[in-house]
Structure 1
Amino acid sequence: MSLADDIEGTKRLSRMSRAWIGDSLFRATTLTFTLVVLLLLGGIVIVLIDGATPALQVLGLDFLTSKSWNPVTERYGALVPLVGTIATATIALVVGVPCAFAVAFFLTELCPYRLRAPLGIAVELLAAVPSIIYGIWGLFVAAPYFQSTLEPALAKWLGPIPVIGHLFSGPPIGIGLLLAGLILALMILPFITAVIRDVFESVPAVLRESAYGIGATRWEVVWHIVLPYCRTGVVGAVMLGLGRALGETMAVTFVIGNAHRLPKTLFDPTTTISATLANEFNEAVSDMYTSSLIGLGLVLFVLTFTVLAIGKRLLLRNEYAKAGARR
């Protein structure tokens, strides 16, 4: 073996050694950040459980089933805020998901090419508006309109309908469950729209062109080609919007009414977990009061974690189904 071959072999070993060191450092760095995130998550869970334990030991299951919230008598129940959180998030999804789907469908299938980027940016800019601005707008602009015009009209036209008519009955107050849900729908709209638009655009052009070639309409292409192809992304977009709706605080606090009572109609004021925490944490003067509020935070954490876990499960199921179909 010549001297040149020895030198080349030494250089090759040196490059391999540097590559191995770089890969090891990269692996260690990413593992470190992953462990830090997991430790932070675990720390949050421990703090919530530790803080909520005194209240849970005294109140037991009544904390989840009682609708009483009385700091004077030291009786606290999470039922009203929990129902309010789920109800507002449900309204937001019922209204926001179809609107986001329609906007994404228009931007990817119907909108002129030159207008797609400006309109898409305009929709995404809604996500840049601070939540407190949504709350102020809802309180001073939307709530008076709801009280004077929209809620009386809904009560008039939808009130007589059996089954669902009861939801649109009662005095028009303006602020309440309906307004909070619609404000949340407006807030989650840009997030869901952006994700759905991106997954729509990821569909291979050959699939669209093949469907159009056999005479399919645009709606048929979207319903039978685009949606089945990107079902996973659409479910992920909905879960993203739901997680955003469950944890929203300031906008909901402004417009939901902050009343600790179960809503009987969509016009009734009520409260959510995040709104209760924002309104009352500074006023908690007793250990039981503070522990109960931390217990509400624990309930919200479990609720959000459960929803996201279900969403992840659905995504994995769709991935497994796709893998099985390809085989």
Structure 2
Amino acid sequence: MNTTTLPAAAADIRNRRDAIADRSFRWLVTGAGVLVLVSLAAAALSMLWGGREAFARFGLGFLWSDAWDPVNQVFGALVPIYGTVVTAVIAMAIAVPVSFGIAMFLTEIAPKWLRGAVGAAIELLAGIPSIIYGMWGLFVLVPVLAEHVYPWVDAHLGQWPLIGALFSGPPLGLGMGTAGLVLAIMVIPFIASVMREVFLTVPGRLKESAYALGSTRWEVVWDVVLPYTRSAVIGGIFLGLGRALGETMAVTFVLGNAHELTASLLMPGNSIAATIANEFAEADSEMYRSSLIALGFVLFLVTFVVLSLARLMLRRLARREGR
């Protein structure tokens, strides 16, 4: 036997083994990706199937009906949808500027010895379970708002002609405004962490060049840092919005859980997640249970649409930037 053929045979065996390993790895990661899509479709279809009775009886009117009467088996999703959207909008209106300020402070202003401590505190806040936020909101924030904040808001802002309907009502402390505030405190650590990380990716030479040309710190942030990290910042904001839309326990504690459609932020309301959490164990009929599952499907659609819009916006920004 020719000994020169042995290294060639060994190399051929090794190449076949590498090809099999590479092909197996490709199928493995492809299966992982397909598993995500299958799980997503399975979750959506299971909720749609579970809510089929509600959709069959109420049709699309289920989405804009404000009725919720378990006794007479009449249900509508408008009040939970409205509460979910309003509380999420309030949360983002508070959380985005605060998160931006925190990220700017940590990357541009804070001394090095303070950045680590504040960064660790933000990560700790992000790891606190949502039920802790809800309990804190109920036992600490609600009494403070009911005694010291909402009476002033009702007496002063509630009398204005255009925005009075938003800020008038009894100072209960529970309501959509309180829920939005608690949600804002919850999502601030997530958005601030993302913003801080992406702001740190800005090359120092860009900022130093802007300072050398006489730009102020605000001009550097607005004209250099934000344009460079715009796509990632928007992605972080929508990540926080997705968390706010689907939050359950924190909102359940402070929202008031009232199926009433009202414009006032001081009045109790309801959200999709809170309705499902509060009433699923009490659903004593198939139609009641089907309506709650249909609410879950609606929440799935709302979250999917929001995240899809985020992806579309990021893609348009990337195309505009020539990437």
TM tier relative to shorter chain:
over 0.9
Q: TM-score, normalised by structure 1?
A: 0.95
Q: Where does the alignment leave 5 or more consecutive residues of structure 1 unmatched?
A: none
Matched residue SS, 1:222: helix
1:191 alignment counterpart: 190
User: Deviations 1:184-206 (Å, cap 9, x if unpaired)?
Assistant: 00000010001011110111111
Aligned identity (percent) is 49
Q: Aligned letter for 1:263?
A: T
- Contact 2:280–2:292 (Cα < 8 Å) also in 1: yes
Q: Aligned letter for 1:222?
A: V
1:237 alignment counterpart: 236
Question: Residue 263 of structure 1: CA displacement?
Answer: 2.2
Q: TM-score, normalised by structure 2?
A: 0.96
1:263 alignment counterpart: 262
Residues in 2 aligned to 1:25 and 1:114: alpha-carbon distance in whole angstroms: 48
1:308 alignment counterpart: 307
Q: Where does 1:33-112 land on structure 2 (aligned, <5 Å)? A: 33-112=32-111
- Is residue 140 of structure 1 aligned with residue 139 of structure 2? yes
Matched residue SS, 1:163: coil
Question: Residue 63 of structure 1: CA displacement?
Answer: 0.8
- Contact 2:159–2:168 (Cα < 8 Å) also in 1: no
Question: Residue 38 of structure 1: CA displacement?
Answer: 1.6
Q: Where does 1:138-177 land on structure 2 (aligned, <5 Å)? A: 138-177=137-176
Matched residue SS, 2:322: helix
User: Deviations 1:78-108 (Å, cap 9, x if unpaired)?
Assistant: 0000000000000000001110000001000
Residues in 2 aligned to 1:63 and 1:205: alpha-carbon distance in whole angstroms: 54
2:27 alignment counterpart: 28
Computed over aligned residues only, the root mean square deviation of the Cα atoms, in angstroms, reads 1.5
1:128 alignment counterpart: 127
- Contact 2:51–2:294 (Cα < 8 Å) also in 1: yes
Change (3 A) 1:14 1:218: farther
Residues in 2 aligned to 1:227 and 1:77: alpha-carbon distance in whole angstroms: 42
- 43-52 or 96-105: which moved more? 43-52
Q: Aligned letter for 1:48?
A: M
- Contact 2:61–2:76 (Cα < 8 Å) also in 1: yes
Change (3 A) 1:42 1:156: same
Question: Residue 14 of structure 1: CA displacement?
Answer: 4.1
Residues in 2 aligned to 1:230 and 1:72: alpha-carbon distance in whole angstroms: 53
Matched residue SS, 2:265: coil
Residues in 2 aligned to 1:154 and 1:123: alpha-carbon distance in whole angstroms: 30
Question: Residue 3 of structure 1: CA displacement?
Answer: 5.6
